[in-house]
């Protein structure tokens, strides 16, 4: 494999990276546990939250002209209302939290430290913005779900090794259309938090 190039894009410049970001999300999130039957219209709306926020960051990883991995982040206070809702309900302040959108790496490129670098880049961004905590949320699926692949290894241990702790009391709900479903439905996602 050739050398990979990391591209950091902030604020409104993210709009120009809509196509590769959407393509990666649509591909990687079809898999368990996301099962996301996405559309470009949904992706455009989702990514606009980032391009509208001057303090957002996207990291894209390129192998030549192909984007093979990406991650996004923005201050939680600027995230979609659904993401803020559990914090408001629990009375937890959000002003010092950087929210991590997604990390997506094509399967061929996994296990080479790209995911690790994404955490380093996003935590560095939090420090630059003067934010003391980082958070992301992960979808909850039933243990016995029929589409769960045999031998699936969740990311939980990786996230704990990065210093993140699951917060069972902070659960948000996000609508998307699951593979094989006719319409979008709400999905529970539990937050993970780290104090830098």
Ligand X SMILES: CC(C)(COP(=O)(O)OP(=O)(O)OC[C@H]1O[C@@H](n2cnc3c(N)ncnc32)[C@H](O)[C@@H]1OP(=O)(O)O)[C@@H](O)C(=O)NCCC(=O)NCCS
Binding site for ligand X (CB under 6 A): 28, 102-105, 110-116, 155, 158, 161
| Shortest Cβ 187–ligand X spacing (Å) | 13
Nearer CB in complex with ligand X: 19/116:
116
Q: Measured from the CB atom, is 76 or 114 closer to ligand X?
A: 114
Comparing CB distances to ligand X, the nearer of 97 and 105 is 105
Shortest Cβ 48–ligand X spacing (Å): 19
Closer CB to ligand X, residue 53 or residue 68? 68
Q: Minimum distance from CB of 38 to ligand X (Å)?
A: 13
Q: What does the alpha-carbon distance between residue 174 and residue 186 come to, in Å, rounded to a whole number?
A: 5
Using the Cα atoms of residue 99, residue 105, residue 110 and residue 112 in order, give the sign of their dihedral: negative
Nearest distance from C-beta of residue 158 to ligand X, angstroms: 4
**Contact assessment for residue 151 and residue 36, using Cβ atoms and an 8 Å cutoff:** no
What is the nearest approach in angstroms of ligand X to the Cβ of residue 91?
A: 27
* Nearest residue to ligand X on Cβ basis: 115
Compute the least distance from the CB of residue 147 to ligand X, in Å: 15
Whichever of 150 and 183 has its CB closer to ligand X, that residue is: 150
DSSP the chain: ----EEEEEEGGGGGGGHHHHHHHHHHHTTSTTT-B---HHHHHHHHHHHHT-TT-EEEEEEETTEEEEEEEEEEGGGS-HHHHHHHHHHT---TTEEEEEEEEE-GGGTTSSHHHHHHHHHHHHHHHHT--EEEEEEE---TT-TTPPTT---SHHHHHHTT-EEEEEEEEEEEEPBTT-SS-EEEEEEEEEEE-
Q: Which is nearer to ligand X, 111 or 146 (CB)?
A: 111
């Amino acid at each position: 494999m050739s050398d990979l190039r990391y591209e950091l894009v902030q604020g409104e410049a993210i709009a120009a990276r809509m196509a590769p970001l959407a393509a990666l999300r649509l591909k990687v999130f079809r898999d368990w546990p996301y099962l996301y039957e996405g559309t470009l219209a949904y992706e455009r709306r989702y990514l606009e939250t980032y391009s509208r926020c001057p303090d957002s960051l996207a990291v894209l990883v390129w192998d030549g002209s192909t984007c093979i991995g990406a991650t996004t982040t923005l201050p939680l206070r600027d995230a979609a209302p659904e993401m803020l809702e559990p914090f408001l309900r629990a009375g937890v302040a959000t002003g010092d939290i950087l929210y991590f959108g997604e990390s997506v790496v094509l399967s061929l490129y996994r296990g080479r430290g790209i995911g690790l670098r994404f955490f380093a880049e996003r935590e560095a961004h939090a420090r630059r913005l003067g934010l003391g905590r980082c958070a992301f949320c992960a979808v909850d699926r039933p243990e016995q779900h029929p589409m769960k692949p045999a031998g699936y290894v969740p990311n939980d241990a990786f996230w704990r090794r990065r210093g993140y702790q699951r917060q069972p009391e902070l659960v948000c709900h996000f609508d998307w259309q699951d593979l094989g479903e006719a319409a979008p439905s709400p999905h529970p996602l539990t937050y993970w938090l780290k104090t830098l």
